[in-house]
Structure 1
Amino acid sequence: MRRAVVACALLGALVGCNETPADHLQRARDAIFEKNPDEALVEYRKAFDMLRRDDSPQSLVLRARALKGAADVYWLEQRKVKEAVSVYKELIQQCPESPEALEARIIVAELLRVHYRDLRGAIDQLTAALQRNPPQGAELQYQVAKLYFELGDYAQCELEARKLGERFASSTFVDDALYLQAQAVHMMEPRRQEASRLYADLRTRFPESELAPHALVEMGKIRADSGENEKAIEMWVDALKTHPDPSLVQDYITRARRRITSTTPEAVGQKAWAFDHGKAPARAPRNSVEAVGGTAEEAAKDHGD
């Protein structure tokens, strides 16, 4: 009986020895499918441990998959941000040229931005990803430009947004980048007229873009800031045709019309009357007698009225 038990134990050990990293990876995937993330992590760790000392090309491929799988479990299944970032970074360090490492950089950039407000760290990850010339390069370049805008580094934002148009001229992100570039220039006070030209360029090159009416609204704001309220209103009325928030545009128009009214000579006179204790303005003298201080009756008698 004892020999049978020992034989069974030896058989089990031999079966265990025959297990491969690929077996553990498959068990990890099965555990995820069965909603058992803890078991999946155990299997990914077993696969990784078996591959740790093997630097063959095939081993590196499987090691990257094991690390990516474990990091995804931490993030997507368990929402453990700290652990996920740690394993994604381990993947980037150990398998930097793998497709999984490229994906890891993009994910880490988002986690750093959202959960740690580490915008510089996110930029570093995306910049490294861009060096691999990924298929989603235009989108990543746009994200870099946006991060610089969030940092308030408008000069660098302008540079990165312009770079997108130069490197990815046929991308669907070009109009987004042009609008972002105009916004960055707009934030730099002395260059507002240049921003207006960029907005106009967007409308000319991409008339069907959903950003075109927004660009027109921004152009109107620049005109209004320069005191050209009538021209601003013309632009905003035009923007009303396609803008997704017409009530917002109408509010700009209403305020501009109020500014025009408040600065006309008639309105200025009415405003002076309003501050004169609520009294109506004095009646203009009917003739020279009233003008020098005579009463209305004296004036009427003098002229036979």
Structure 2
Amino acid sequence: MQLRRLVLAYALLGALAGCTETPADHLQRARDAIFAKNPDEALVEYRKAFDMLRQNESPETKVLRARALKGAADVYWLEQRKVKEAVSVYKELIQQCPQSPEALEARIILADLLRVYYRDLRGSIDQLTAALQLNPPQGAELQYQVAKIYFELGDYAQCELEAGKLIERFATSSYVDDALFLQAQAVHMMDGRRQEASRIYADLRTRFPDSELAPHALVEMGKIRAEAGENEKAIELWVDALKTHPDPNLVQDYISRARKRIANTTPEAVGQKAAAFDHKMGRPARTSVEAMGGTAEEAAADRGD
């Protein structure tokens, strides 16, 4: 009888323990399910955790709620590749917990999803801009992404401005040479600013001579010279680029084309004095009769031929 009571007591304790499960317990089970390659079960556990946290607005609850939403969104995206569902949950996370570290990560991921899968470039820029306002550690990279998307949109003036922000605000970043190159490309696309673009490329080479973009900058400077009809100067720049450019065949092609343009626009034998002299030497000297306008036959008669 006593043993039976003891068993019942343990059973009651077990039931009570089941009733006192916490959101943290469900979050841990969700993580365990992901490790076990069971994303569907992980989603169930994240949902249970979120439902338990729905009515509570304490700071601790907000932290756990952000983790639950971020975990569920990551499962949809990283484990199941369900873009629509992932986008929806990332947006919900940003709305409910806008200042959380998870929301910052969600904005960065969401920006990429909007750009790649929905071609929503403006929406992507909005998310990156909002992320930048939180002063993230990867600020230079995010600023570069903003400038690149504006270039993709064809808004070259804004691209120039955004690249300039990176150069000014993140002067010690490894993205500065990338920003200079992108800025020069944007300036080159705008009418009447070729020389300014060339100066930016030259600045990149001066400030970052060992950058992998330095030989590419030389090639672009050569293109600008060629566009202006300065093919000889373009060839000089491209020959210099050959020393370090990763695709020398491409550079050789530019050089070959420039040399053909020079040949096609140069009159035959101009300045070739020897050829001109040989041409004159190969013709018999004109007689006085010919000089006066007489025919060759009259000249022969005058010579007694």
Aligned pairs (5 A) from 1:1-305: 13-266=15-268, 287=286, 289=290, 294=295
Q: Which amino acid aligns with 1:28?
A: A
Shift of 1:287: 3.3
Shift of 1:54: 0.8
Residues 298 and 136 (structure 1 numbering): CA distance in 2 closer, same or farther, change over 3 Å? farther
How many angstroms apart in 2 are the aligned matches of 1:141 and 1:293?
Answer: 84
- Letter of the structure 2 residue corresponding to residue 188 of structure 1: M
Q: What TM-score do you get using the length of structure 1 for normalisation?
A: 0.88
Structure 1's 106 and 303: CA in aligned 2 closer, same or farther, altered over 3 A?
farther
Q: Distance in 1 between matches of 2:139 and 2:60?
A: 27
Query: Measured at CA, do residues 227 and 61 of structure 1 come closer, stay the same or move farther in structure 2, by a change above 3 Å?
Result: same
Q: What is the one-letter code of the residue matched to 1:231?
A: K
Quick one: structure 1 residues 291 and 175, their matched pair in 2 at CA, closer, same or farther if it must change by over 3 Å? farther
Q: CA deviation at 1:16?
A: 2.5
> SS where residue 266 of structure 1 aligns?
coil
Counterparts of 1:285 and 1:15, CA distance in 2: 122
Structure 1 residue 112: Cα displacement: 0.4
Could you tell me how far 1:7 is from its partner in structure 2? Answer: 8.8
Alignment partners' CA distance in 2, 1:15 and 1:83: 33
Q: In structure 2, do the counterparts of structure 1 residues 300 and 145 end up closer, same or farther at CA, with 3 Å as the change threshold?
A: farther
- Report the AA paired with residue 247 of structure 2: D
Unaligned runs of 5+ in 2: 271-281
Given that 1:285 and 1:291 are in contact with CA atoms closer than 8 Å, whether structure 2 keeps it comes out as: no
Aligned residue number for residue 278 of structure 2: none
CA distance in structure 1 between the aligned counterparts of 2:165 and 2:302, rounded to whole angstroms:
84
CA deviation string 1:245-295 (max 9, x = no partner): 111110000000000000111079xxxxxxxxxxxxxx9786364996946
**Aligned equivalents of 2:292, 2:96: Cα separation in 1:** 97
CA distance in 2, matches of 1:189, 1:173: 26
Q: 1:58 to 1:229 in 2, by over 3 A?
A: same
Contact 1:24 1:43 in 2 (8 A): yes
Partners of 2:22 and 2:242 in 1: how far apart? Answer: 65
Q: How high is the sequence identity, in percent, across the aligned residues?
A: 83
- What SS does structure 2 have at the residue aligned with 1:209? coil
Aligned residue in 2 for 1:272: none
Counterpart AA for 2:183: Q
Preserved contact between residue 236 and residue 249 of structure 1 (Cα < 8 Å): yes
Corresponding letter in the other structure for 1:106: I
The structure with more radius of gyration: 2
CA–CA separation in structure 2 for the residues paired with 1:66 and 1:20: 13
Tell me, what secondary structure is at the counterpart of 1:189? coil
- Aligned letter for 1:166? E
- Quote the offset at 1:189 in angstroms: 1.9
SS at the partner of 1:96?
coil
AA in 1 matched with 2:187: V
Helix, strand or coil: the match of 2:222? helix
Q: Distance in 2 between matches of 1:302 and 1:213?
A: 72
Measured after TM superposition, the shift of residue 9 of structure 1 is 8.5
Q: 1:11 to 1:232 in 2, by over 3 A?
A: same
CA RMSD across the alignment: 2.6
Secondary structure of the corresponding residue to residue 97 of structure 1: coil
What letter is aligned with 2:182?
A: L
* Number of equivalent positions: 288
Secondary structure of residue in 1 paired with 2:98:
coil
In the aligned structure 2, how far is the partner of 1:135 from the partner of 1:302?
100
User: Are the equivalent residues in 2 in contact too, given 1:21–1:47 (CA < 8 A)?
Assistant: yes
